[in-house]
Amino acid sequence: MYTRRRHIYFAMMGTCIGLFVLAWAVVRIWSIPAAVALCIVAMLIPPVAAMIANRRGPEDRWWDDPSGDPQSDEWWDELDGKKPPRR
């Protein structure tokens, strides 16, 4: 799943760069407002791409999920206040 999100992210960022280049290398010759509109669309793509790339998938491990190592999980539970300190 991570690979798929990464490919989508790079495709969106490539589209963003392509829109900027297209706007100021080609479209501005015929229409400045159209070039500005392309840049506005391109400006909206990076935040959406970041949200898509960083969202958690159903099979992704979340930060507080058990790691499978009992000693490490116990240590983290103690640090998070989920268990009293060992004596």
Whether 44 and 9 map to the same domain: the answer is: yes
Whether 37 and 79 map to the same domain: the answer is: no
Three-state DSSP class for residue 68? coil
For every residue of 18-34, DSSP letters joined together read: HHHHHIIIIIHHH-HHH
The 10s digit of each residue's pLDDT in 29-85 is 999 999 999 999 999 999 999 998 888 776 665 666 667 788 877 877 777 777 666
Residue 36: give the domain boundaries: 2-55
The token pair at 56 is: 């958690």
Whether 11 and 33 map to the same domain: the answer is: yes
Whether 49 and 76 map to the same domain: the answer is: no
For the whole model, what pTM was predicted?
Answer: 0.64
